[in-house]
Structure 1
Amino acid sequence: MMKKNSILILLIILGTLLAACNSDDEATATDGEVSGEITVWVHPYTSDAEAESAMWDEIVASYEEKFDATVTIETIPWGNRDQKILTALAANNGPDVFYAIPDQMPQYADEGMLLELDPYLEDNNMDDFVDSALVSTKWQGKSYGLPILQEAYTLFYNVDVIKAIGKDPENLPSTWSEFEEWAKAAKEEGYYAYSYQGGGSMNGTLYPFLWQAGGKVITQDDEVMINNAEGVEAFKFINKMYEKGWIPEDSITAMNHDAIWNAGEMLAVQGSGISLTNLQESGLNFVIAPPLKNKEQATYGTTGMFVVPSNTDNPNAAAEFVKTVTNAENQRKFNTVTQYIPTRKSAKDIFDDQKYLKQLAQYTQYALPGVIHPQGRNIMPMIQAEVQTMMEGKKTPQEAADAAAEAIKGEIDK
């Protein structure tokens, strides 16, 4: 993985170059022709390269049938993608369209690296997109991408454990207080209630509880909110789960609790569409519940999007490709192959005959993509360290939240 400073240096260099290039000639949408050639960088989204290649052929054909333009699809590996993209754009030989994830977009947009798409979207039926899918495409009120896929993480419950603790698998917990009742019952019967993977991403640990409590980490205007009353409530809830023994002893640093779940010793784990294969292979009988709610009903789910660099030589053709690849027809093609959830409401019918994915597709409306801020990736380890210190008993929830807030302020003030 690249060091943070390397990414920052590349961002600064590229931002300066792009500012110089665009200062006298802002790229704007026009009614001009869509022609020429564009290059699109994608990633391997599955292990089936042949199926993906056929998928891209169909998507490109749908674009080239409509426009007098030629598209070249290039697949680049996930590893070191930041460095490859930034280096190519800085040398002005990068793609005209590329795939981005939520913690990349605000970094790039903040440095002036991305083309604003709003002027191109008047005819794009934006109301068909799930509202939560558009959160990660916007920075400072402007749209810099269009989403093609989403996930929605929620709780998967072991039916045998539910019955063993005297609860009803047809009436699953929907609130924190209801979950606490189930957690107490699980503990009394010798089960863990939940898998808290404290060594993993904040997106799967603190953040969902913080959002459910009605809190935020930081706003796009740099207001740090992690230590307000709502944020502290989330810290307290996690600390309570650990102190009560509702989560395993190694939860401070654990990356997974697969062995405990597979042994039938855990009530619930967090999962998504990409977890289904492993969960089904475990042989356990499970049911899926909607995301929990405290003040808000919320969960984590990444969003994948396509964006256009601001130094593209063909902004019209690039913007139209982004619109084409994310239309309902092509989202059906893409997500049928990749098994992610479409971000267009009208494309979700691809999962109508798949019990679990159809259910999970209903929950993307509650799925937030993480912290949309240029420092979103960098502040995660700081927050994680404070949550871990709290769980070790060295700080109170308020002290841990305050320390996290100070660390975040220090990072954004650099």
Structure 2
Amino acid sequence: MSGINTQLRILEENNQQIKVSLVGAGLMGKGMVSQMMLMKGMIPAIVTSNKVEDAIESYTLAGISKEDIVIAKTLSDINVAMEKGKYVATDMTEYATKANLVDVVVDATGIPDVGARLAMDSIYNKKHIVMVNIEADVTVGPILNKLSKSAGVVYTGTAGDEPGAVQEIYDFADALGFDVVAIGKGKNNPIDYDATPDTVRQKALEKNLKPLRLASFVDGTNTMIEMAAMANATGFTPDVRGAHGPRATVKELPNIFRLKKDGGILNNYQVVDYVNGIAPGVFAIVTTNLPQVHQEMKYLSMGDGPNYVLYRPYHLTSLETPITVAKAVLYNEATIAPIDKPVAEVVTIAKKDLKKGERLDGIGEYTILGSIETYEKAKEENLLPIGLVNANTIVKRNIKKGEFITYDMVELDTSTFIYKLRQMQEAEF
């Protein structure tokens, strides 16, 4: 099997290209479009955004002339434009998965219900689906992955995001026969459980991010979601609810991620966690029971053992997503995908005191935040997955700030696609 770069070059030399339909043209979407334009054998054929101006800008930023961009409102217009070799900008999300020549759909919306529907439509239309939308993945990824396999297409998370980068290290270590005892990611700031779009607005604007997106990073919900994706793909679990989240340097990780009886912080091995102080990196802690391997690890300056850290000091977010696109098409492989059944859940916490009759909102907003828990424990305690919450979720009784929200505390919006898909997942697993 030759490398992805070789395979893409062969496609280019044969005047063939992987045609990508991207939904979402924010900071990450725009970066993805530009990166694809640098590559051989792949093009961002369709960009969909609620603001068609953002879709157009994603192309112009990548050096595409406006004469080569078609603004389309119908599926027929999209198909004709693609057949002529034009680039399509549209605000019609329902057509993103239906164009005849599209090979792969990439969901970069970050909205759980939108992502669930896009993934299902992609599977129905026999398109590979890349979920940059990790919020949807941790809520209904297991059932989507099962359905995609039945349809003969790939369901996958993305390279470049922390879960995908962790999966690459895990796969490497697991293939070599190491015992992987912990996996995780860095976080670049302490969690502020009170963060809202208002408190982070100025920083968000400076970073060209939506305030609610940055708030989801700062209040820790995004980190919990990323760890849940790692757990669901590997079978590893959080050692404690919310994870330990120690502050450490990379060199300190092997000693920190040891069992308590050996001077570490862990109750168990095979856990997911996060670390303040090593962002933007990701890591795996490995060990072995063979003395010769220990001897060579010491010789290679990997530490004194018995645990060692494998560390990647960067992740390039959506700029790496085209690698996942290529793997799906060329090798029919996922970068990261859930295993057979759910392992972890991101459960919902009240961000403030909530009153009976009040409406909730969503990830990174004003009323809720998330924490990781094992799937079994969350189910046992009837804890509410954060991906099912939206602005039509109504509080049925007063809830204190910091209280974990259970299904019976709220009236969910049962009309959403993600709710129905979650019901299917619960019945299946």
Q: TM-score, normalised by structure 2?
A: 0.28
Tell me: higher relative CO, structure 1 or 2? Use CA pairs within 8 A at least 6 residues apart: 1
Higher strand proportion, which one?
2
